[in-house]
Amino acid sequence: MGAMSDVKFGANPLFLREEDLRQGIELLFYAYRDFTAEPDQMLSGLGLGRAHHRVIYFVGRNPGIMVSDLLTILKITKQSLSRVLSVLVTEGYIEQRQGSRDRRQRLLTLTDRGRELEEKLTESQRRRFAKAYRLAGAEAVEGFRRVLVGLIEDPPAEYRQLLTAERRPARGSRF
Amino acid sequence: MGAMSDVKFGANPLFLREEDLRQGIELLFYAYRDFTAEPDQMLSGLGLGRAHHRVIYFVGRNPGIMVSDLLTILKITKQSLSRVLSVLVTEGYIEQRQGSRDRRQRLLTLTDRGRELEEKLTESQRRRFAKAYRLAGAEAVEGFRRVLVGLIEDPPAEYRQLLTAERRPARGSRF
DNA sequence: AATATACGTCAACATCTATGACGTATTCAT
DNA sequence: ATGAATACGTCATAGATGTTGACGTATATT
């Protein structure tokens, strides 16, 4: 927060010039645009949208997740989630079961049908990432992760370590 | 496209495991979510949305751009763009002038008012990038760019060089 | 003169998200 | 036990963003 984190090398390092920052902005825009295009296409055939994909994805990743945690991840209102979620439950992609410790909770899990769809949707995105990672190389992937974590407002704990661990020079450096 | 680009090191390099690909997917989701949050907030006060921001941004970056090129960048329909654009013209953020060589064109430029808003909106995103870049370091930034370009379906020429240029080992490598 | 391009518009519609208000079931703290 | 907080759902209203299809005008191109 304070002066400690104001790490200044020169006055303005090369990679922090206006032009480079804008390049980052644009790359992120283009990448996200194309990253979502394929799944969106598949989903529209099923009468679903990107919001459904996000829910299916994160429920798949966190089986038994409670609604409020899902809301925290997605950062949308419960009314918005509710509509999407009820469609997914009605169409048999997601199951709700009551929490055993706290019976107010409706814990969410993918059904077989849901897992199938999740796999199909995510496969397209995994392929895209695999291609990009392969082209860029392992070292670039590490850098990619570090920057993305820095862009996130409040990175989940499991990501924060990406910033500190495996820092290359890292021996007797300025910290 | 062919066997040439199928660069395989081992059977499945460490950074191409399912888990790593999913981590990439999630990082991209979180980063984009937070990357757009601040500008969205500012815009809503003006009765504008994210789509207006995108138009203002790319017109600012490409003064005198024609509508069809803007459509190619945004990958939306002209009807969608039209609604957004006409608001921006009406509200005095963007000027249209006839092309001199081809008078069918309506070349787009930011007005002073538009430039002012663009600056305000983008400043938030630049700050976020500057922070992430600073934290991650110059080397990571280079990797970040390389991966993002690989995610883009059909990277503009000015980005494609990021993939080939400045490749670190790069001397007598396998190419 | 015929065709294609650049752009705009009207209409109808679907999706995603937001706010505000209200209700129920359950848990927790005093 | 009672009151407050939590987890969740729902109804209503609204706005932003995107789509397709059809049609029209001005201008370029061949």
Chain B CB within 8 Å of residue A170 CB: no
pLDDT for residue B160: 85
Q: What is the pLDDT of residues B26-64, one digit of tens each?
A: 999 999 999 999 999 999 999 999 999 999 999 999 999
Cβ proximity of A60 and A110 under 8 Å: yes
Nucleotide D15: nearest residue by CA–C1'? B47
B95 pLDDT more than 90: yes
Cβ proximity of A118 and A108 under 8 Å: no
Cβ proximity of B25 and B33 under 8 Å: no
Whether CB of B68 is under 7 Å from strand C: the answer is yes
Nucleotide D19: nearest residue by CA–C1'? B77
- B108 forms beta bridges with B65, B96
CB spacing of B144 vs A144 below 8 angstroms: yes
Assign B15 a pLDDT band (cuts: 50, 70, 90): confident
Q: What is the pLDDT of residues A29-46, one digit of tens each?
A: 999 999 999 999 999 999
CA–CA gap between residue B26 and residue B32 (Å, rounded) = 10
Write down the residue that tokens 């509710």 correspond to. Answer: A82
What are residue B95's phi and psi, to 5 degrees? -110, 145
Q: What is the mean pLDDT of chain B?
A: 88
B2 pLDDT more than 90: no
DSSP string, B33-66: HHHHHHHHHHHHTTT--HHHHHHHHHHHHSTTB-
**Alpha helix segments (H runs only) across chain A:** 18-45, 50-61, 67-74, 78-90, 112-136, 138-151, 157-164
CB spacing of B132 vs A150 below 8 angstroms: yes
Residues of chain A with pLDDT under 70: 1-14, 165-175
